[in-house]
Amino acid sequence: MKVRLKHLSTINRKKLDWRQEPDREISYVDLAGLDYESGSFTAQVMRLAEAPSRARRLANPGDVLVPSLVGTKSWMNGAATVIDWVSAEYVFSTGFFTISGNPYVDARYIAYLLKSKQVLSSLRLAARGVTLVAFTPSNLGDIIVPITDPRLQSMIADFLDRETEWIDQLVEKKRRLVELLEEKRKAVLTRVLLNGIGGELRHLDRRPLRAVAEVLVGRQRSPRHAVGPNMIQYLRAANVKDRRLDLEDVKTMNFDTDEQRTFRLLRGDVLVTEGAGSLRAVGASAVWEEQIPGIVCYQNTLLRFRPSSGVHQRFLGWWAAFAFASRLFASVASGVNILHLSAERVRNLPVRLPSSREQLLIADYLDGIDSKLDGAAHLIDKQVLRLTEYRQALITSAVTGQLDINGEIPDPEEVVT
């Protein structure tokens, strides 16, 4: 049997009036406390009077919280979850809807319904908006869902609790493997750039970066450069990730002829993010390989390293990656909300520069290691994707009655092989 969700539950309970009980202790959640991967929530304990005025809606243990914003991350797995905290009453932001069941509806079953492929597709179709895409309580209530008797609901929920926990544990192990691969990459990179492949760098004197590369900050962006006769594509901090360029959104501004000569990127230039909101992000770098044809310049949110004579671009690129991974760049960053790398401080950072032949050997060695680790990480990412797809397919087939929950199902390990 299929019914509209509003006939199974109450969507959005009444709001609390903080003036009646301003000192009542409540648990507050908002979208910032939502883990999109697991669908779990982190609550903040506060007085009712301290909660945002838009966020005083009552929810109880056993209710289902559903984020109203439709986004790739939140709806990949379905970010609906059953409240199971100890506190008896909750306040949450307007970024969520609550679904309150009844004695004949298992809240876990409703949460799994909201993670099924058909329901997520229906909510995406119902959502509206440009910058923030969301659906309404009415959209949610009008979703048609399959329903069965309470005993079978609980059996399905028990089955999915058990099976999805197994899948989630396997996914977590896979993600930990990716983290370990990245840790290995950083360890190898640090060892080789400090000591060399066989220790050949260990006894070399350190030179300041300015002795091996020109370091130049990009051109400042301003309204007067927004139009003009020489609109040129330029890169900014958002385009530079760790060891790669993201060129999906490349902007343009006016660069006169002299500025083009100064700020034009040449093959082999190393681009480094000059500022970021955290020490983990400042100093990410990538090598320009003329991925975009024609003249491309860069903004002052980036530093450009141009190798001097006798310095190979690939070696310089790996040194910049090492300076980011080892937090050498972070050690000279300064600022409060936004941390910055001044060109002068960066120019004084120490570099151990081997011979031209050894530079190429080091670059070849690190290229090889990087390729192997990238291949392994890519394989694990594909396995995680298969497990995520299998998880949703399992939920969908179970709640729609297409799966015999008492029968044999594939081992998640076999799904990824």
Question: What's the pLDDT tens digit per position in 139-159?
Answer: 888 888 888 888 999 999 999
Nearest to 39 by CA among 15, 91, 75: 75
Q: Mean pLDDT over all residues of the chain?
A: 87
Lowest mean pLDDT among 1-5, 179-183, 383-387: 1-5
Please give the Cα distance from 326 to 331 (Å, whole number): 9
Across 266-280, average pLDDT? 90
Q: Flag whether pLDDT at 76 surpasses 50.
A: no
pLDDT for position 77 = 47
Share above pLDDT 90 across residues of the chain, in percent, rounded to a whole number: 50
Lowest mean pLDDT among 44-58, 267-281, 388-402: 44-58
**Sequence-distant contacts of 36-43: CB under 8 A, at least 24 apart:** 36/71, 36/73, 36/74, 36/76, 36/77, 36/79, 37/73, 37/77, 38/77, 38/168, 39/77, 39/78, 39/79, 39/80, 39/81, 39/115, 40/81, 41/65, 41/81, 43/85, 43/87, 43/90
- Domains 2-147 and 205-353 are alike in CATH topology: yes
DSSP line for 366-378: HHHHHHHHHHHHH
- Tell me which CATH code domain 2-147 carries: 3.90.220.20
Tell me the per-residue pLDDT of 28-46, one tens digit each, with 9 for 90 and over: 887 777 766 666 777 788 8
pLDDT for position 70 = 65
Looking at domain 205-353, does it have CATH number 3.90.220.20? yes
Tell me the per-residue pLDDT of 312-343, one tens digit each, with 9 for 90 and over: 999 999 999 999 999 999 999 998 788 899 99
Domain boundaries, the chain: 2-147, 205-353
Strand order in the sheet with 251-254: 251-254, 231-235, 296-298
Copy the structure tokens of residue 19: 């003036």
Nearest to 283 by CA among 267, 265, 305: 305
Residue for token pair 């005993």: 151
Please give the Cα distance from 80 to 66 (Å, whole number): 5
pLDDT for position 353 = 94
pLDDT for position 46 = 84
Please give the Cα distance from 288 to 296 (Å, whole number): 10
Tell me the per-residue pLDDT of 123-133, one tens digit each, with 9 for 90 and over: 778 777 766 67
Q: Which helix (H) or strand (E) holds 144?
A: strand 144-146
